[in-house]
């Protein structure tokens, strides 16, 4: 009786070896890592899509987004605005310059032309 029990236990261990070593649990770990990577990539794409959707809605509905793009991407300014560009230590313009509000009528000291 004892011999049969030992033989059955040995056969059970032999059956389990592929599960533990070759395919089963290591494969599960690899698949879980792939799923986590795919979820992270999916979240990044969802965030990008939400941002693009927001921009599309802004461009369709309001003039604010169009004005912002014209200012920062094309360098346009409004009439009676003064554009000041600050150069860095290397002589190159800084990333973004903010335009000043239009001068008040009582503060006129001469005609100022926008600089590009």
- The C-alpha angle 74, 79, 82, rounded to 5 degrees, equals 75
Burial of 76 (0-12, 13-18, 19+ CB in 10 A): middle
Worst-scoring range by mean pLDDT, 4-8, 32-36, 63-67, 97-101?
A: 97-101
**Average pLDDT across the chain, whole number:** 79
Give the pLDDT confidence score for residue 92 in this predicted structure.
77
| Per-residue model confidence as pLDDT tens digits over 64-108 | 777 877 887 887 888 888 877 778 888 777 665 455 555 565 544
- Can you give the residue ranges of every domain in the chain? 28-77
pTM of whole model > 0.75?
Answer: no
């Amino acid at each position: 009786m004892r011999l049969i029990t030992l033989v059955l236990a040995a056969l059970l261990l032999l059956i389990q070896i592929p599960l533990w070593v070759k395919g089963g649990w290591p494969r599960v770990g690899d698949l879980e890592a792939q799923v986590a990577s795919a979820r992270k990539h999916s979240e990044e794409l969802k965030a990008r899509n939400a941002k693009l959707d927001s921009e599309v809605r802004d461009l369709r509905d309001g003039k604010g987004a169009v004005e912002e793009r014209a200012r920062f991407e094309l360098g346009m300014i409004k009439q009676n605005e003064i554009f000041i560009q600050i150069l860095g230590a290397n002589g190159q313009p800084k990333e973004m310059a903010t335009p000043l509000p239009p001068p008040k009528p009582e503060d006129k000291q001469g005609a100022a032309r926008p600089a590009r």
